[in-house]
């Protein structure tokens, strides 16, 4: 094993553990470029079974959002307070799991938008904060596109959480850019009016706008959480301790047959 040989040599700088060495190969190839031979970015072992090739496709666009196509969503726009939520809860946890899997292996990730991301939770899932670039306020129309484009050229995985619906031309451009630079674009697609997707309680009927996907562009993979529930908390005692997620991954090509999996967090 190369890692053992390296770990024994005296030239290894102090503070670099054998675990760091194994990730070194990937760190040395930080810059995404055509020379990279890997076709996927790593994900956590629990998620590996869900993704074709056991990872996120390099150069691909991954949509985190409802599994249904946008027009189907539109039909439930007259939503009642007891109707199923617009955005399945648990999606943020799924995003954090993806970031944890990628960043902990030494790849650089960036999150554009989403100032409310709970990074303490990310650390608990194993994310490496030193590999996580945050751009919580990417600016207004006309500016965030260049920010995302630059980041796609710079880091391995860019997560975009659009505040408002993305223009189809922008969406196609960003997907093409990701493919060209072989970095992965993850779009946290929150259907519904702004604010409804903020993880506050679901929007009431007064706030329901047209429930459209904010990402009208192409996507290679579509990840969704069909069910999520917390356990451990009772009336007046207990603790939120376990999150059960039913995740589903569909998409094009090898992923055309959707794969489902049950996740328990913390694992």
Which residues in 225-244 contact another protein (CB under 8 A)?
228-230, 233-241, 243
- Name which of 30 and 76 has its Cβ closer to another protein: 30
CA distance 101 to 206: 39
In 155-203, alpha helices (H): 168-181
Residue 110 CB burial class (10 angstroms; 0-12, 13-18, ≥19): buried
Residue 92 interacting with another protein (CB under 8 A)? yes
Residue 204 interacting with another protein (CB under 8 A)? yes
Q: Which one of 118, 168, 209, 253 is in contact with another protein (CB under 8 A)?
A: 118
Which residues contact residue 99 at a Cβ distance below 8 angstroms, ignoring those fewer than 6 apart?
109, 111, 122, 127, 132, 157, 159
Q: How far is the CB of 252 from another protein (least distance, A)?
A: 27
Residue 19 interacting with another protein (CB under 8 A)? yes
Q: Rounded to 10 degrees, what is the CA torsion of 166, 190, 212, 193?
A: -90
Strands 259-265 and 238-251: antiparallel
> Residue 69: which region, alpha, beta or left (left: phi > 0; alpha: psi -120 to 50)?
beta
CA distance 165 to 163: 7
Q: Which one of 1, 5, 35, 201 is in contact with another protein (CB under 8 A)?
A: 201
Residue 78 interacting with another protein (CB under 8 A)? no
Q: How far is the CB of 82 from another protein (least distance, A)?
A: 8
CA distance 263 to 245: 5
Stretch that binds another protein, among 10-18, 42-50, 61-69, 159-167 (CB under 8 A): 10-18
Residue 161 interacting with another protein (CB under 8 A)? no
- By rule CB under 8 A, what count of residues binds another protein? 76
Q: Which one of 167, 207, 262, 264 is in contact with another protein (CB under 8 A)?
A: 207
Q: Which one of 36, 44, 119, 212 is in contact with another protein (CB under 8 A)?
A: 119
Q: How far is the CB of 181 from another protein (least distance, A)?
A: 11
Q: How far is the CB of 266 from another protein (least distance, A)?
A: 6
- Name which of 136 and 168 has its Cβ closer to another protein: 136
- List the structure tokens of 188: 């946290």
Q: Which of residues 121-160 bind another protein (CB under 8 A)?
A: 121, 123-124, 126, 129-130, 132-139, 143, 146-147, 150-151, 153-155
Nearest to 96 by CA among 146, 46, 61, 59: 46
Nearest to 227 by CA among 212, 248, 242, 211: 248
- Name which of 46 and 218 has its Cβ closer to another protein: 46
Q: Which of residues 36-75 bind another protein (CB under 8 A)?
A: none
């Amino acid at each position: 094993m190369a890692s053992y040989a390296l770990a024994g040599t005296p030239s290894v700088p102090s503070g670099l553990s054998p675990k760091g060495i194994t990730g070194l190969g990937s760190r040395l190839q930080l810059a995404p470029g055509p020379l990279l031979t890997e076709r996927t970015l790593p994900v956590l072992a629990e998620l590996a079974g869900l993704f074709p090739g056991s990872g996120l496709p390099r150069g691909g666009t991954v949509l985190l959002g409802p599994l249904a196509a946008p027009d189907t969503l539109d039909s439930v726009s007259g939503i009642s307070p007891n109707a199923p939520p617009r955005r399945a809860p648990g999606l943020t946890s799924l995003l954090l799991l993806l970031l944890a899997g990628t960043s902990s292996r030494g790849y650089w990730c960036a999150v554009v938008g989403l100032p409310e991301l709970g990074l303490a939770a990310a650390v608990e899932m194993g994310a490496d904060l030193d590999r996580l670039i945050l751009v919580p306020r990417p600016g207004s129309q006309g500016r965030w596109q260049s920010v995302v484009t630059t980041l796609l050229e710079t880091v391995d995985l860019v997560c975009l959480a659009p505040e408002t619906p993305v223009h189809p031309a922008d969406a196609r451009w960003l997907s093409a850019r990701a493919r060209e630079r072989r970095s992965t674009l993850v779009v946290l697609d929150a259907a519904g009016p702004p604010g409804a997707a903020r993880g506050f309680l679901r929007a009431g009927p007064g706030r329901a706008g047209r429930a459209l996907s904010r990402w009208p562009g192409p996507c290679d993979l579509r990840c969704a959480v069909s069910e999520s529930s917390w356990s451990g908390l009772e009336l007046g005692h207990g603790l939120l301790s376990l999150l059960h997620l039913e995740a589903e991954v569909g998409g094009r090509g090898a992923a055309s047959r959707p794969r489902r999996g049950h996740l328990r967090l913390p694992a």
